[in-house]
Amino acid sequence: MDRIPILKMGPFLLVTIQVDLYDRLALTLENDLISMVSKTGARGVLIDISAVSIVDSFMGRILGNIASMSRIMDAETVVVGMQPAVAITLVELGLTLQGVYTALDVEKGMELLQDKIGIFEDPEQEKEGPDDSDD
């Protein structure tokens, strides 16, 4: 069965979804990701969906679920690289993913995560990351 790889990068988990998600795959991802968070004690989860061109309400709900579950386990979730069509679809479905942070690309997402959980490689850069999402 297909699995979506979950990469550990320091205190963060990086998930890049390269295929269109079907329901079973999304559920497996949710399970895998949450068990990874608990196993590694990750502080942040970054999900890159720039290659995803189709979403439905289920997929939107899974993203929301992952965010809420990680939040309980003290990890923030950032979704990056959403396609315009996907964003429009989610809004039309009424899923605005409250509580999920978003960023334009992986780079900005990483900055945002570091900003959110207060880990700075270089204390001088503390003022970086202007693209705070509203909470």
Partner 1 sequence: MNTIAQLLQNNKKKILENWMQNQLSDTSLRDDLISNEELRRQSDELINGLSRATAGGNVDNIYAPEYEPVVEILSDISITRARQGFSPRETGMYVLSLKQAIITVLQDKYSEQPEVLYKELLTVNNLLDMLSMVTFDTYIKGREEVILRQTDEINEISTPVIRVWEGILALPIIGTLDSARTQIVMENLLQEIVNTGSSIAILDISGVPAVDSLVAQHLIKTVSATRLMGAECIISGIRAEIAQTIVHLGIDLSNIKTKASLASALQLAFSMRSVEVRKISKNTGFHIGR
Beta strands 101-103 and 6-9, pairing class = unpaired
Tokens describing residue 101 = 């942070």
CA distances from 44 to 16, 20, 22, 57 (A): 14, 23, 24, 24
Instruction: Give the nearest distance from C-beta 58 to partner 1 in angstroms.
Output: 17
Of the candidate residues 39, 72, 84, 118, the single one contacting partner 1 (CB under 8 A):
84
Cβ closer to partner 1: 2 or 132?
132
Choose the binding region for partner 1 from 3-11, 20-28, 67-75, 103-111 (rule: CB under 8 A): 103-111
Choose the binding region for partner 1 from 17-25, 29-37, 75-83, 117-125 (rule: CB under 8 A): 75-83
Q: How many residues bind partner 1 (CB under 8 A)?
A: 26
Which residues, other chains included, contact 46 with Cβ-Cβ below 8 Å and sequence gap of 6+? 12, 13, 14, 15, 77, 78, 80, 106, 109, 110, 113
Choose the binding region for partner 1 from 5-13, 37-45, 68-76, 90-98 (rule: CB under 8 A): 90-98
Q: CA-CA distance, 29 to 58, in Å (whole number)?
A: 13
Q: Where do contacts with partner 1 occur on this chain (CB under 8 A)?
A: 79-84, 86-88, 90-92, 96-97, 102-105, 108-109, 127, 130-134
